[in-house]
Amino acid sequence: MGQFLQFAINGLMSGAIYALIAVGIVSVFKATKVVNFAHGYVIMVGAYFYYTFAVLIPGAEWAPNWLAAWQPGWLVEMREGLPMFSPMGAVLDWVQNLPRIALGLAGAVLANAALGLVIERTLMRPLMGQSVFAMIMITVGLISILAGAVQLVWTADADFVPHIAPNTPVRFDVGETTIFLFGADIVNMVVALLIFAAIVAMVRFTKSGVAIRATAEDQSTAYSMGISVPKVFSRAWMLAAATGAVAGAILATRNGISPSLGLFGFSVLAIVLMGGLDSYVGVLIAALAVGVLEAMTQWQLGGDWAEIVPYVAVLIVILIRPHGLFGQKEVERI
């Protein structure tokens, strides 16, 4: 029972990150009917922006010393006498890095949102009114552009970035088994779910969300109702890129930063298809389910199978329900 709970919690934490990545794909699709195949690489660029603002800029010669390592007197006093690898030491290490973490997150969100706006204005908007297939192929080509740009600007060398939360170990007993988690993973899961919930609430209850839903239903009718469809498209791309920056920062703290982060987008795209391209609730359920299934497969069959079995389940669901678990079924009349 204890091991089952350990892997189930690990799966839920991974699933929450999948959901945060997926929300960007769903947001763009709901507004534009375009499946963004390059979303994983937008996330990768967001991770590199976080690396730039949290590591490179604080480490520059012209940057103030407190940005690289904030060490007020009270923090130095608290660190004295602490044993190595103590939980309090991990918290104090995070506090020491707090200025550059805050700069990294703020800079990554703003820079990636600007990137989303540039993509929409320069690549998507000229094709407005053209076939959706042409717009989708633009996102496929964007994969190579972003991957090449990252290697030119930042090189392909792997590196590490500071955790966005204290990475203190958390232990508790369930029966005779000890459950072991990391504080940073718990906070990452909470942050991912809160952002997901905020976006769903925005789409459902705000004027901007109503505009997105109206545009998704019928662009011509939305125009006639006074909705600026180009602005809706821009906001959707900026929202997807901004949330992608947070997802990229979280992935970078978990797996290190490298161009391979872009591949996460393809895995999450399968999850989005499983939940339904136009359903936030379906995508959340699918992401959590795949996360748990992946963890359980790793527990019972090993890591090699963990990369295969969950996506076999995705394919089975798509074969039974091509529009996904909660996706809206579209009927075309001839």
pLDDT digit string (tens) for 217-250? 777 777 777 788 888 889 999 999 999 999 999 9
3-class secondary structure for 27-61?
HHHHHHCCCCCCHHHHHHHHHHHHHHHHHHCCCCC
Mean pLDDT value across residues 180-189: 88
213-223 confidence digits (pLDDT tens): 788 777 777 77
> What is the C-alpha to C-alpha distance for residues 22 and 280, in angstroms, rounded to an integer?
9
19-28 confidence digits (pLDDT tens): 999 999 998 9
Tell whether 183 is covered by a domain: yes
Tell whether 81 is covered by a domain: yes
129-149 confidence digits (pLDDT tens): 778 888 889 999 999 999 999
Q: Report the DSSP beta bridge partners of residue 62.
A: none
- Single-letter amino acid, residue 107: G
Mean pLDDT value across residues 256-269: 85
- Single-letter amino acid, residue 121: R
279-330 confidence digits (pLDDT tens): 888 999 999 999 999 888 888 877 777 778 777 888 888 888 888 888 776 5
Tell whether 333 is covered by a domain: no
Tell whether 270 is covered by a domain: yes
H or E element in which residue 181 lies: strand 177-182
For the chain, what is the domain count? Answer: 1
The whole domain housing 237 covers 2-320
28-84 confidence digits (pLDDT tens): 998 888 889 999 999 999 999 999 999 999 988 888 888 888 887 777 777 777 776
> What is the C-alpha to C-alpha distance for residues 116 and 96, in angstroms, rounded to an integer?
32
Q: What angle do CA 163, 180, 309 make, to 5 degrees?
A: 85
With a cut of 60, say whether residue 331 has pLDDT above it.
no
- The pLDDT value given to residue 334: 34
Tell whether 256 is covered by a domain: yes
Tell the burial category of 14 from Cβ atoms under 10 Å away from its Cβ (0-12, 13-18, 19+): buried
Tell whether 45 is covered by a domain: yes
- The pLDDT value given to residue 332: 41
> What is the C-alpha to C-alpha distance for residues 242 and 45, in angstroms, rounded to an integer?
11
Identify the CATH number of the domain in which residue 104 sits: 1.10.3470
Tell whether 258 is covered by a domain: yes
Kindly indicate the confidence band of residue 158, based on its pLDDT and cuts at 50, 70 and 90: low
Mean pLDDT value across residues 266-290: 89
Backbone phi and psi for residue 161, each to the nearest 5 degrees, phi listed first: -130, 160
Tell whether 332 is covered by a domain: no
Kindly provide the b/e burial profile for residues 245-280, where b requires at least 16 CB atoms within 10 angstroms of the residue's own CB: bbbbbbbbbeeebbbebbebbebbbbbbbbbbbbbb
